[in-house]
Amino acid sequence: MRNRRSQLPAPNLGHIAQEITRISGLNFASVRALWRTTFKKESPGALTRDLLVRQLAWHIQEAAFGGHDAATQQLLDAYGRQDAGKVVLFRRLRPGASVVREYQGVRHIVTICEGGFGLAGQDL
């Protein structure tokens, strides 16, 4: 069976990038209006402008390139149901890998070690 995506014309990357750039420049009220038009419902009140823009950008890219593969969708569904017993993680961090996050302007780097984790050179 042929992949449905292979039967569609190739997406125009320039148009996609332009639309995402346009949405990124909209003010909060315009982003919410675009959300209403796109999803036919009000935007979640707790989401920031940045998160709404990111979701709209994902929607554009999903329409052009397709969504998550089946394994990723199952993983996300299990997380959404908070069914931790059925969540199978195929992506594992190996010793030597670092995870970087910024929180309130402070960058935190956690390194995966053989026996656990290290934060800023200290074993945890």
**What pLDDT shows up at residue 101?**
85
Residue 35 has pLDDT above 80, yes or no: yes
Sheet holding 122-123, edge to edge: 98-103, 106-113, 116-119, 122-123
Average pLDDT of span 36-55? 94
Average pLDDT of span 20-26? 96
Write down the mean pLDDT value for the chain.
82
Distance, CA of 65 to CA of 74 (rounded, Å): 19
Query: When comparing pLDDT for 68 and 88, which is higher?
Result: 68
**What pLDDT shows up at residue 87?**
61
**What pLDDT shows up at residue 30?**
97
Confidence of residue 3 (pLDDT cuts 50, 70, 90): very low
Q: Which pTM does this prediction carry?
A: 0.58
Estimate to the nearest angstrom the gap between the alpha carbon of 20 and the chain centroid: 15
Round to the nearest angstrom and report the end-to-end CA distance of the chain: 50
Residue 42 has pLDDT above 90, yes or no: yes
Q: What percent of the chain has pLDDT over 70?
A: 81
Residue 52 has pLDDT above 80, yes or no: yes
Q: What percent of the chain has pLDDT over 90?
A: 38
